Amino acid sequence: MTIEQQTDYPSSGHVTIRVSPTEPTQFPLRVRIPRWCPKATVQVNSETPAAVAPGAQPYELRRTWKPGDVVTLDLPMPWRLIRGRKVQEGKVALMRGPIVYCIGTAQNAKLLKDNPDPGELTIDPGTLGEVASDTSVRPDGRKVTAQALPPGTNAAPVTVVLTEFVDPSGIATYFRIPNLAKAVNDELMSDCFAK
């Protein structure tokens, strides 16, 4: 039995799994759907994709597998505004899939010269651009630009470059947003709050 997975996760949520038994074999193949993914789909070969909800238990594909069967898993990665707690109360962390984005000094020199406390910027989530390649932090890395308002009543919007939190020059990961009602609780902490 050979099972091969191909993906560029966490850069995208597209995963291909090739199942190659030496002969047709029945067994369950389990895939985990992260809690942050609201609309995953799983497709076997050319069958109709099945919508799969996130959860604590893996999604199980029980069937007789034949050589060359292909499972395609798509995990859309919408932006999430994760509500801060305790010291970060009233702010949010910006996440896409499992990745936290931050303000790094390397790509925001002018912004930081004028705004030395980037955690006080108010980021407008509606201005998040398309995710772009950024190999300055890691191979297959990503970055995004957004508009933000500095503190003050007459401040003009500024452009901020947000990089993945693995950015060694990262200095701020929590920000203000215009409407905190759009923030969600951290799904990883939901088990802690339930007890």
d(CA 77, CA 40): 10
Element of type H or E holding 190: helix 190-194
d(CA 158, CA 107): 13
Mean pLDDT of 89-93: 95
| Domain membership flag for residue 195 | no
d(CA 34, CA 50): 16
Would the CA dihedral through 56, 85, 145, 157 be positive or negative? positive
* pLDDT category of residue 5 using cuts at 50, 70 and 90: very high
Where helices occur in 26-165 by DSSP H, the ranges are 109-114
Q: Distances from the Cα of 88 to the Cαs of 8, 26, 44, 79, 93, in angstroms?
A: 31, 50, 43, 19, 9
Considering the domain architecture, whether residues 174 and 99 belong to the same structural domain is answered as yes
d(CA 103, CA 112): 9
Considering the domain architecture, whether residues 50 and 137 belong to the same structural domain is answered as no
Question: How much is the pLDDT for 100?
Answer: 95
d(CA 59, CA 147): 38
User: Of the residues 74, 97, 125, which one is the last residue of a structural domain?
Assistant: 74
pLDDT in tens, 14-64: 999 999 999 999 999 999 999 899 889 999 999 999 999 888 889 999 999
| Domain membership flag for residue 159 | yes
Question: How much is the pLDDT for 191?
Answer: 55
Q: How many structural domains is the chain composed of?
A: 2
Q: Distances from the Cα of 129 to the Cαs of 60, 76, 125, in angstroms?
A: 35, 16, 9
pLDDT in tens, 127-175: 998 899 999 888 889 999 999 999 876 878 999 999 999 999 999 999 9
* pLDDT category of residue 186 using cuts at 50, 70 and 90: confident
Q: Count of CB atoms within 10 A of residue 124's CB? A: 16
pTM: 0.87
Question: How much is the pLDDT for 177?
Answer: 95
Domain span at residue 11?
A: 2-74
Of 35-39, 91-95, 191-195, which range is least confident?
A: 191-195
Range 185-192, long-range pairs (CB < 8 A, 24+ positions): 185/82, 185/83, 186/82, 186/83, 186/85, 187/35, 187/36, 188/35, 189/85, 190/35
Question: How much is the pLDDT for 103?
Answer: 95
Question: How much is the pLDDT for 195?
Answer: 47
Considering the domain architecture, whether residues 97 and 60 belong to the same structural domain is answered as no
Considering the domain architecture, whether residues 70 and 91 belong to the same structural domain is answered as no
Question: How much is the pLDDT for 158?
Answer: 94
Both tokens of 14, joined, read 């597209």
Considering the domain architecture, whether residues 62 and 122 belong to the same structural domain is answered as no
DSSP 167: -
Question: How much is the pLDDT for 190?
Answer: 61
